[in-house]
């Protein structure tokens, strides 16, 4: 080739510049495609399952993108910090929440208790240790105990009331004013010596068989003669008479002042019955006119046991004895056995 035909250095430089620009443009276009493909792969990888393997050592992430660990690292730390703060706050607030729950539970139970006045009243009635409810409870308990004892005694005695109070001193010293006497119905718990349906052993028979009650022979019975408006009479049965009997010779002249049957009241006997006498009295009930011979059907019961002083409760409650008098007699009886000035029994 002739030197004239050879391209000059300037031409070669121009050609190289043009080729470089073409390659740059091509490379730019190709790089854009590669970058788009990388971005598509990255998005597909993010949406799909993450690879289990670590990136190979020495591999470099693409320019303009941050490693996934670096991208998520700061938010993770921030989330962890927020979670730790929230946990600490929750830990601090837990006791308060527990207290609030307990308080609410307590308030709830209080409201429930307040909303049920019957349960609250019953609880207070059973557990109060002071105040009106306590006094009412104790009073009702005492009354219930007394009624229960009374019912038990009624079951044993068969009469109501099963206990009577001695109102007079006619049976002293064997029965005192204010004694409470347990009574059984006629015929109940009768001893073998009682040869009748009433269960009464007379003083006369008691001497023969050695049967004693309340400090002397024979039974003490409670009876109410017809027309009597006061309390029943509590006296000892001395002996039994039959209708039309002249009982003057059987009578103890210490207990009457008659000289014969015609001068002795209720002699001869108007009907069958018992001649009775108060242990502290000076005359038979039939000789003094207190009662005719006591028919079996007039007998309310037979005295069995006495309890000192408890009868004053009834006597004071019914106004038969004043409280100060009952106290004085109780104290006086405990100091000396002086006899009472009360008249015949009730």
**Residue 333: predicted pLDDT:** 60
In contact, 320 and 188? CB cutoff 8 Å: no
Going from the first residue of the chain to its last (346 residues), give the mean pLDDT of each consecutive group of 10, the final group possibly shorter.
48 56 52 47 46 47 45 46 46 47 45 54 76 83 85 81 90 93 91 88 95 96 93 96 96 95 96 97 96 96 93 86 82 52 39
Residue 242, both tokens: 């039959």
Rounded Cα gap, residues 50 and 109, in angstroms: 56
In contact, 37 and 62? CB cutoff 8 Å: no
CA distances from 78 to 65, 72, 84, 85, 190 (A): 21, 10, 10, 10, 104
Q: Give alpha helix (H) positions in 116-261.
A: 117-127, 132-157, 203-209
**CB-count exposure of residue 193 (10 Å: 0-12, 13-18, 19+):** middle
**Residue 151: predicted pLDDT:** 84
- Sorted by sequence, the CB contacts under 8 Å of residue 195 that are 6+ apart come out as 205
Rounded Cα gap, residues 196 and 84, in angstroms: 103
Q: What is the pTM of this model?
A: 0.58
Residue 210, both tokens: 């050695």
In contact, 147 and 159? CB cutoff 8 Å: no
Of 179, 159, 157, nearest in space to 168 by CA: 179
Residue 265, both tokens: 């009241």
Q: Left, alpha or beta for 309 (phi > 0: left; psi -120 to 50: alpha)?
A: left
**Residue 247: predicted pLDDT:** 97
**Residue 181: predicted pLDDT:** 95
């Amino acid at each position: 080739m002739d030197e004239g035909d050879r391209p000059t250095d300037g031409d070669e430089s121009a050609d190289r510049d043009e080729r470089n620009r073409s390659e740059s443009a091509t490379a730019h276009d190709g790089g854009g495609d590669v970058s788009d493909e990388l971005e598509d792969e990255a998005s597909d990888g993010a949406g799909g399952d993450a690879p289990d393997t670590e990136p190979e050592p020495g591999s470099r992430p693409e320019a303009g993108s941050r490693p996934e660990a670096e991208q998520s690292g700061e938010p993770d730390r921030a989330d962890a910090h927020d979670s730790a703060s929230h946990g600490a706050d929750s830990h601090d607030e837990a006791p308060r929440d527990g207290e609030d729950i307990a308080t609410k539970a307590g308030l709830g139970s209080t409201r429930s208790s307040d909303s049920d006045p019957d349960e609250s009243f019953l609880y207070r009635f059973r557990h109060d240790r002071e105040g009106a409810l306590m006094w009412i409870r104790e009073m009702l308990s005492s009354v219930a105990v007394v009624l229960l004892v009374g019912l038990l005694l009624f079951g044993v005695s068969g009469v109501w009331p099963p206990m009577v109070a001695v109102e007079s001193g006619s049976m002293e010293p064997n029965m005192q004013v204010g004694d409470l006497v347990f009574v059984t119905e006629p015929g109940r718990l009768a001893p073998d010596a009682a040869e009748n349906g009433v269960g009464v052993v007379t003083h006369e028979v008691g001497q023969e068989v050695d049967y004693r009650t309340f400090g002397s022979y024979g039974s003490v019975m409670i009876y109410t003669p017809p027309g009597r408006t006061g309390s029943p009479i509590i006296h000892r049965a001395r002996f039994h008479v039959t209708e039309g009997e002249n009982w003057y010779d059987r009578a103890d002249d210490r207990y009457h002042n008659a000289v014969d049957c015609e001068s002795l009241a209720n002699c001869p006997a108007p009907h069958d019955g018992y001649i009775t006498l108060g242990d502290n009295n000076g005359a038979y009930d039939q000789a003094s006119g207190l009662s005719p011979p006591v028919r079996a059907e007039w007998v309310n019961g037979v005295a069995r046991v006495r309890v000192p002083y408890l009868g004053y409760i009834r006597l004071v409650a019914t106004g038969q004895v004043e409280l100060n008098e009952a106290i004085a007699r109780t104290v006086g009886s405990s100091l000396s056995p002086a006899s009472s000035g009360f008249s015949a029994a009730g």
